[in-house]
Structures are given as structure tokens and as C-alpha cells.
Amino acid sequence: MVQVVLTFDPSLGHMFHNFPLLSFLPCAPVRYVPPPVYRYLSKPDVRADEYGRAVLAPYGIRKVEACLRLRSRLRAEVIHPNHLDRHIRGDTKIIAVNTMDPLGIGPLSLMFNNCGREKSWVRHEFETLMHWIGVLKRERCPGAKVVVGGAGEWEFEIMPEMIEALGIDYVVQGEMDDIIHLLFEGIVEGSIDNTIFLHGYRSTVFDSKGRASIMYVKDPKGHFITRHPFSRFKLPKIEDIPTIVGAAISGQVEIMRGCGLDCDFCEVTTRPLRYYPPEKVLEEVKVNLRAGIKNAWFITDNQWAYMLRDPNYWPNKEAIVNLYRTVMSYDGVTHANPMHATLAPVAADPELPMLISKIVGAGPGKHIGVQIGLETGSDKLVQTHMARKALPFRVGVDATWAEIVVEAKMALNAAYWIPADTIILGMSGETDDDIWDTIGLINYMASQNLLFTVTPMALVSLGSLRGQNALTDVYANLTPAQAALIYISWRNTKRMAEILAWRLGSDTPLLKLLTGGLLVFGANFWLGALERYLKRLNPMTERAIEKAKTYTVIPSKGTDFRKLRQQMRELSLNRALRQGA
């Protein structure tokens, strides 16, 4: 008897032949990727055990499972989405679904589907799942409640009409892994504690200077649930967050929450910094190992902030190295890499990625992947929206942002790291000059044969998307320079697909050839179609794209990073001496 059936959006359970570039695929419109091609490229799926339970599951739903196991009398299991019919029964009380991009309007999907004008595969799969849950619920347990949560919950704030259309009772927001048992017990008993939970959601709003503040929006229909701002349960301390009890997809383990860099378009920065000690990280690594996952993928919004002590953001090298050593020295662990990081700390301390690579055993056949918010090539936009992202450097004083980026990329590639960058279009105050700085930076790095992907995103700020009544048309209002930047970004992805398609992935050589061939063909097809589409937008766009193809100019102060690092070290030493005196 399973009272709480926990499951997840099927698109989160695809392994995409372990080709990193293929994880974009669910963002693609259904109309342009035929089902047989999608099904083949998304394979294999995470396995189910003989009872239909997911052997691997998204980290978020594993945290919910852990909290319920530890603190609740409700019996919960994480069920594979393909086996729900075996567990949704007459005694099921709650069906909870973890999702990342349920309506296909995540920052990346909306670039592919132009803000939902096409239906992306990710939405198609979520809707199919919810429809199936609705059928099973109607037939077997009409009184059960359907709960949706995870990183994509905000999309229902944009399209609240989809909540009832998809048969959802509650959309749960925010960190809940210390109190989700109280919510689920309240739902089952029909009395949610209103001193702990608020029927509404927390929204981040940004003022004209980009300062973030939190606002709570009440939901008269009672679908949205968030932690009450005056709840006696404050945001959980690390010791209150339960350790996962079932294995997470790709060996995900959390190492910290928050970031602390205050980029003015980012919600993460409103979350307080908290760090998992290495021993707690290792506990979760062991859970994954028991399911045969030998990789540790560190969940973090910025790895270099791990155990941060220096206000100028020099990374805490000892703590970071200790974390990797602790994990990698455990018997059976073969790889570790972070989910997200920034660039400036690497330019400041290029030894850092190399140290990690040595611990991990990275090399020409074993790269370290990391997602990085590159955002722009423009000094002005960095100074306006994200000055602290460049710490310990001061953009425009010590070096240009482009110089910092290139210096960091060289250090990362030299240590066998391959960054997957994102850039933002449409930041407030952006001009065509800023866009050309970004085009120049991408092309310059490609001309130096640096290995990186770059994905353009419009309106990446979740906060700024919230509360809009009408979705933006991403492409209709592009300036010619913005269109050229989108083209250049995908041209670089095609370059990387051609380099990596034959190197990465875990198939047999024959299947690797097939998957790699499809990937290269798909990248070429997409770029050709995109170029034709963008050039049709207006004649100026055609000219901008042609100019962008060979534009490699980057803002430069001729910075000598070796000298700069030396000066900064001396300054910091003197400061320490003065403080000690």
C-alpha cells in the first residue's frame, strides 16, 4: 500500500545516450522533431525495479521521499512514471509530481518554441503524464490530491489556468524538504496548517536599480502553497535537511544553497548561503553508489562560493579541494563535477580547476562539464547588473570582462573542463554595442579553439517573468544585432557538436556513430533553418549576420593577469598584516 505516490516528469528520466548536448532536446518543438527521432535520441530511460519503483530519480523528489521516510507515518515510494498504474490504487492519498519545465516556458524552451507558440516535447510529456494520472485517479482514487512541485512550479504562476486544466490540486513552491511531511499530512487530513503554510506564492520583484525584494501573493483559489513568511519553521539549516535515501539521477548530490553574488536578475541570490559539510555530501554519494552510480554531480549555483570566507570572493581553495578529496577518495567513486560555477575566481586562481582535475583524474578522454552564466561580453552590462560576478576583479579597473572570461576559459580548458555557457538577451539598458561585445567574445574564443557551448536565453530572470499577463514574442522584436548574436551562439554549438559528437556518449561504437551523426545533422539542420528564418525578419538582420560571422573584436585593456594576480596577492597580504597588527 503506497499512500503517497511520488513521481516525476518523464523528460527528467531520459539519459540522452549520455551526450551532454542532447539534453536540450525536450525544449525542441514536437512539430520539428518526429516522435521516432525524439524517442531514439532520448534513450535510455532510468530503470524501474521489479515493483515499478524508480531506481534513479530527480534529486528534488528524493528529498521529499527522505523527509517523509524520516518524519512521517505516511508510506511513500518514488514510482517510475511508466509504472504508475501499479501503484495508484484505492488507498492512494497523494500523487506528487516533480517537474522542471512543465509548460515548456523555461528560459531555454522559450527560445526554441518562441514563448510557447509551439509545443515543446517537455510540455507534451508532462501533459501526457498528467492526463494519465487523471485517468487513474478518476477510476481508482477520486479523493486523492495531485501535487506538483520542483524547479518549474513558477510556470503555473504565469499560466494559472493550466492548474485546473491538468487536474492539479496544489502547486508547491520553494524549499520544503524540512516540512513537506507536515504539508502532506495536512492535505490527507483535510486541514493544512495556515500558520506554517501560505496559500499563495513568494515572488521576487526588482526595483529600477535592480534590487531584489520579496513579495507574497495570496491565491484565493488555494492552489499555490508556500512556506508562510511568519512560519515558526524558518528556511532549513543544513542539519535540518534530510539525506536522500534513494539514488538520484546522474549522481546528483547537493553541496550548498545560495550564491551570494547579487546579480540583479537572479532569484538564487535571495536565498541565504548554506553549505553541506563534506561528510554530509559523502552520505548522499554513498546512497548513489549503492545504486551503481559512481559519479558525483555537485548541485550548486556557484561552486566557487563553497565555504566562502573572503568578502572579495577569493575561493576557499582548501575547503573546495577537501570536498573533492573526501568524495573521490571514497571507494568506488570515479568522477565528480559541479553543476554551476562562475568564471572570475578561475581567472584569479587558475590553479584551482587544475587541482580539482588532478583529484578527479580528468584528462583528454575524461572532461569535467560545468554550466556557467557568462551572460554578456559587455563591461557596461556587467557593471550595471552583476558587478560582483567579476570578483575579486573590478571590471573596467583591473581588466575587461571579456579578458576575465578568456583568461578563465583558457585555464578551464587546460584542465580539461568544458563550460556550457548561457548568455542573456534583453537586459535593461542593453544596446547594440553591448550585443556586439558579446558576439565578438564568442567568436574570439571560438577562433582560439576554446571548447565551450553557449546558449542564448531571453528573459532568463524567473522573477521578471512572473506576473506578466501576456508572454513576450522572443523573435518579433529582435534587433538585427540580437538576431546575429543568436545565430553566432548556435553556430558555436554546431562547432562543438562536430568536435564532441564522436568523443562523448556511452554507446557502442556503432550506436555512437548513429547518435553522433544525428546530432551533427540536427545541429546543421537547426542552424541552417535558423539563419534562413532570422534573415527573413528584415534586410538589416541579413547584413548583421554576415558581419557577425567574422567579427572577433573584444574590449581589452591589455591586462597582464600574471602581474595582476601578483599585485592582488600582495595587497591582500598587506591588508591581512594591517588587520593583524
- Does 389 engage in binding with ligand SF4 (CB under 6 A)? yes
3-state secondary structure of 275: strand
3-state secondary structure of 380: helix
Environment class of 346 (CB within 10 Å of its CB; exposed 0-12, middle 13-18, buried 19+) = buried
The phi, psi pair for 324, rounded to 5°, reads -65, -40
Considering beta carbons, is residue 259 or 501 the nearer one to ligand SF4? 259
Stretch that binds ligand SF4, among 132-140, 191-199, 263-271, 324-332 (CB under 6 A): 263-271
- Compute the Cα dihedral for 221, 225, 227, 231 and give only its sign: positive
**Cα distance between residue 134 and residue 142, in whole Å:** 9
- Does 204 engage in binding with ligand SF4 (CB under 6 A)? no
> Cell digits for 86?
501499479
Minimum separation from the CB atom of position 331 to ligand SF4 (A): 33
- Compute the Cα dihedral for 425, 461, 344, 499 and give only its sign: negative
- Kindly tell me the number of DSSP H helices and DSSP E strands found in the chain: 19, 18
Considering beta carbons, is residue 441 or 534 the nearer one to ligand SF4? 441
Give kind and range of the element (H or E) at residue 187: helix 180-189
Stretch that binds ligand SF4, among 64-72, 219-227, 258-266, 553-561 (CB under 6 A): 258-266
- Does 301 engage in binding with ligand SF4 (CB under 6 A)? yes
Considering beta carbons, is residue 342 or 384 the nearer one to ligand SF4? 342
- Return the bridge partners of 94, or none: 4, 145
Minimum separation from the CB atom of position 263 to ligand SF4 (A): 3
Minimum separation from the CB atom of position 286 to ligand SF4 (A): 28
Contact between 353 and 346 under an 8 Å Cβ cutoff? The reply is yes
Stretch that binds ligand SF4, among 89-97, 120-128, 264-272, 555-563 (CB under 6 A): 264-272
Considering beta carbons, is residue 290 or 394 the nearer one to ligand SF4? 394
Considering beta carbons, is residue 259 or 411 the nearer one to ligand SF4? 259
- Does 384 engage in binding with ligand SF4 (CB under 6 A)? no
Stretch that binds ligand SF4, among 197-205, 220-228, 255-263, 527-535 (CB under 6 A): 255-263
CA distances from 77 to 34, 243, 545 (A): 33, 16, 52
Considering beta carbons, is residue 50 or 207 the nearer one to ligand SF4? 207
Considering beta carbons, is residue 129 or 459 the nearer one to ligand SF4? 459
> Cell digits for 565?
594576480
**Cα distance between residue 468 and residue 454, in whole Å:** 27
Within 13 Å and on the Cβ side, how many CA atoms surround 320? Answer: 27
Considering beta carbons, is residue 259 or 485 the nearer one to ligand SF4? 259
Contact between 305 and 298 under an 8 Å Cβ cutoff? The reply is no
DSSP conformation class of 112: H
- Does 179 engage in binding with ligand SF4 (CB under 6 A)? no
Considering beta carbons, is residue 182 or 344 the nearer one to ligand SF4? 344
> Cell digits for 281?
555530501
Residues touching ligand SF4, count (CB under 6 A)? 12
**Cα distance between residue 470 and residue 383, in whole Å:** 30
SS3 content of the chain, % helix, strand, coil (to 5): 45, 15, 40
Considering beta carbons, is residue 92 or 269 the nearer one to ligand SF4? 269
Minimum separation from the CB atom of position 341 to ligand SF4 (A): 9
Stretch that binds ligand SF4, among 69-77, 265-273, 425-433, 544-552 (CB under 6 A): 265-273
Out of 269, 303, 422, 479, the only residue in the binding site for ligand SF4 (CB under 6 A) is 269
Out of 21, 76, 268, 320, the only residue in the binding site for ligand SF4 (CB under 6 A) is 268
> Cell digits for 14?
531520459
Considering beta carbons, is residue 268 or 445 the nearer one to ligand SF4? 268
Contact between 154 and 462 under an 8 Å Cβ cutoff? The reply is yes
- Does 263 engage in binding with ligand SF4 (CB under 6 A)? yes
Minimum separation from the CB atom of position 64 to ligand SF4 (A): 23
Q: Quickly list H helices, 34-114.
A: 35-42, 59-71, 109-113
Stretch that binds ligand SF4, among 60-68, 260-268, 494-502, 506-514 (CB under 6 A): 260-268
Q: Which of residues 328-367 bind ligand SF4 (CB under 6 A)?
A: 342
Give kind and range of the element (H or E) at residue 508: none
- Does 421 engage in binding with ligand SF4 (CB under 6 A)? no
Minimum separation from the CB atom of position 338 to ligand SF4 (A): 12
3-state secondary structure of 420: strand
Q: Map residues 108-147 to x or -, x wherever contact with ligand SF4 holds by CB under 6 A.
A: ----------------------------------------
Contact between 372 and 421 under an 8 Å Cβ cutoff? The reply is yes
> Cell digits for 407?
583568461
Stretch that binds ligand SF4, among 266-274, 287-295, 318-326, 533-541 (CB under 6 A): 266-274
CA angle 320, 321, 324 (to 5 degrees): 90
Out of 107, 150, 373, 480, the only residue in the binding site for ligand SF4 (CB under 6 A) is 373
**Interacting residue ranges for ligand SF4, rule: CB under 6 A:** 259, 261, 263, 266, 268-269, 301-302, 342, 373, 386, 389
